[in-house]
């Protein structure tokens, strides 16, 4: 059996390895137009590669039932066991699961080594431009046509095109009659109408609340990072997922800079600070850089007190940063077009896995977790 896999990143490499271990006599060829295996993976988890999450479940995804259905067949302990069988030892930071080396580059080089020792062939710097699905599947590559018995597409979404996933096969899939849910950047900073340049670079632990038409759709406590033209940080990234999934909403972001302090207590601190140091009362509670901004924000918001602004700083006109700044793509190949083993319902011997599907998770190892889950389910079905 000749297997062609397009995409040598998380889902493509996992699938190649699982398939070759299950069927040592199969010939597995993996194509990628990037110049190295797992190019995007080096950047994951801030260079540490957050592989999975102890709370891996559908509630962290846009499609909870789809994920939970898969997990009922391939639960988290099974996925962890499969990683362990490959010699991938892990460590936990809270619920986040990383390779024991805590190094994305060591992880990629290890996976590459596993694949090579199994006899998997990589074709790097090779673009797949089109394909034909007849009795055999022909991939039209920059090195000429290649014939396979089965082909698995693991080409990712549109996020960070410089790392390989640039949507170059989207038109081809449309020509084959596949429907896609519109792609949006997800897990990215948010531009705001309010100018934030004055506090650019400031980090602060805060509770963020995302509202759509005044209704709360997401809340999280975490570090917020102010940028020249908006806000960033893990909690903001997670909020961006909700905007990406429903871009036509009417959003506002509220930031409580002191989620663990009651407003009365904050008022008392500020009163006391004003008496003791009238010229720099904020210094008692916040980075000085924030002071001017808060006075400005208080006026803009029409708040009666500074403590009210500190507890509820509001940002409007939220816009997702572009794909180049997003970690994942929301939207993708419609899940109605694949079966439980990730095979196409339209074309025999063609499968789709990983981020190219209409599946997106929050930060915390959920997206690499889905790459693993889809790769495992796909390889088990073949």
Ligand X SMILES: Cc1cc2nc3c(=O)[nH]c(=O)nc-3n(C[C@H](O)[C@H](O)[C@H](O)COP(=O)(O)OP(=O)(O)OC[C@H]3O[C@@H](n4cnc5c(N)ncnc54)[C@H](O)[C@@H]3O)c2cc1C
Binding residues (CB under 6 A) for ligand X: these are: 6-12, 31-34, 39-40, 43-45, 49-50, 127-128, 154-156, 159-160, 164-165, 168-169, 327-328, 354-355, 365-369, 371
**Spatial CB neighbours of 262, under 8 Å, sequence gap ≥ 6:** none
Q: Give the residue with the Cβ less far from ligand X, 7 or 230.
A: 7
Shortest approach of ligand X to residue 357 CB, angstroms? 8
Shortest approach of ligand X to residue 242 CB, angstroms? 17
Q: Give the residue with the Cβ less far from ligand X, 8 or 257.
A: 8
Q: Give the residue with the Cβ less far from ligand X, 156 or 230.
A: 156
Shortest approach of ligand X to residue 207 CB, angstroms? 23
Which has the closest alpha carbon to 7: 127, 119, 116? 127
Q: Give the residue with the Cβ less far from ligand X, 154 or 294.
A: 154
Shortest approach of ligand X to residue 323 CB, angstroms? 10
Q: Give the residue with the Cβ less far from ligand X, 49 or 120.
A: 49
Which has the closest alpha carbon to 141: 164, 116, 169? 169
Q: Which residue has the tokens 């939970």?
A: 68
Shortest approach of ligand X to residue 132 CB, angstroms? 15
Pairing, β 27-32 against β 121-124: parallel
Shortest approach of ligand X to residue 208 CB, angstroms? 20
Q: Is 87 left (phi over 0), alpha (psi -120 to 50) or beta?
A: left
Paired residues of 141 in beta bridges: 128, 144
Q: Give the residue with the Cβ less far from ligand X, 154 or 236.
A: 154
Contact 290, 199 (CB under 8 A): yes
Distance spanning both ends of the chain, measured CA to CA: 11
Contacts 24+ apart (CB under 8 A), 136-145: 137/4, 137/349, 137/350, 139/4, 139/6, 139/31, 141/31, 142/33
Q: Give the residue with the Cβ less far from ligand X, 266 or 377.
A: 377
Pairing, β 190-191 against β 52-53: unpaired
CA distances from 113 to 30, 107, 329 (A): 14, 10, 29
Q: Give the residue with the Cβ less far from ligand X, 45 or 189.
A: 45
DSSP string computed for 287-338: -THHHHHHHHHHHHHT-SSHHHHHH-EEE-S-EEPPGGG-SEEEEEE-GGGB
Rounded to an integer, what distance in angstroms lies between the CA atom of residue 244 and that of residue 112? 33
Shortest approach of ligand X to residue 292 CB, angstroms? 33
């Amino acid at each position: 059996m000749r297997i062609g896999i397009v995409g040598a990143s998380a889902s493509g490499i996992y699938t190649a390895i699982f398939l070759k271990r299950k069927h040592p006599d199969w010939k597995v060829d993996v194509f990628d137009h990037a110049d190295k295996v797992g190019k995007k993976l080096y950047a994951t988890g801030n260079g540490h590669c957050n592989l999975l999450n102890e709370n891996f479940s559908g509630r962290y995804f846009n499609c909870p039932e789809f994920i939970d259905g898969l997990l009922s067949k391939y639960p988290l302990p099974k996925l962890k066991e499969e990683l362990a069988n490959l010699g991938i030892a892990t460590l936990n930071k809270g619920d986040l699961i990383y390779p024991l080396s805590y190094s994305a580059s060591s992880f990629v080089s290890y996976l590459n080594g596993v694949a090579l020792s199994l006899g998997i062939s990589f074709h790097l710097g090779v673009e797949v431009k089109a394909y034909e699905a007849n009795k055999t599947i022909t991939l039209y590559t920059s090195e000429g046509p290649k014939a396979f018995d089965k082909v698995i597409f693991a080409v990712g979404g549109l996020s960070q095109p410089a790392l390989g996933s640039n949507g170059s096969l989207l038109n081809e899939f449309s020509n084959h009659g596949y429907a896609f849910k519109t792609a949006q950047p997800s897990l990215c900073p948010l531009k705001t109408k309010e100018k934030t340049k004055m506090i650019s670079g400031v980090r602060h632990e805060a509770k963020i609340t995302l509202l759509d038409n005044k209704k709360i759709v997401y809340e999280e406590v975490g570090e917020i990072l102010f940028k020249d033209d908006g806000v960033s940080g893990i909690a903001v990234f997670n909020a961006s997922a909700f905007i990406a999934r429903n871009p036509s909403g009417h959003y506002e972001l509220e930031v409580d800079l002191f989620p663990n302090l009651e407003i009365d207590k904050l008022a008392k601190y500020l009163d006391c600070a004003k008496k003791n140091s009238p010229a720099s009362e904020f210094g008692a509670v916040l980075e000085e850089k924030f002071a001017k901004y808060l006075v400005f924000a208080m006026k803009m918001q029409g708040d009666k007190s500074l403590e009210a602004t500190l507890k509820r700083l509001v940002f409007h006109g939220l816009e997702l940063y572009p794909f180049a700044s997003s970690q994942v793509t929301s939207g993708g190949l419609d899940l109605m077009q694949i079966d439980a083993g990730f095979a196409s319902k339209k074309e025999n011997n063609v499968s789709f896995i990983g981020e190219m599907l209409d599946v997106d998770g929050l930060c915390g190892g959920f997206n690499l977790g889905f790459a693993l889950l889809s790769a495992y389910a796909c390889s088990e079905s073949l």
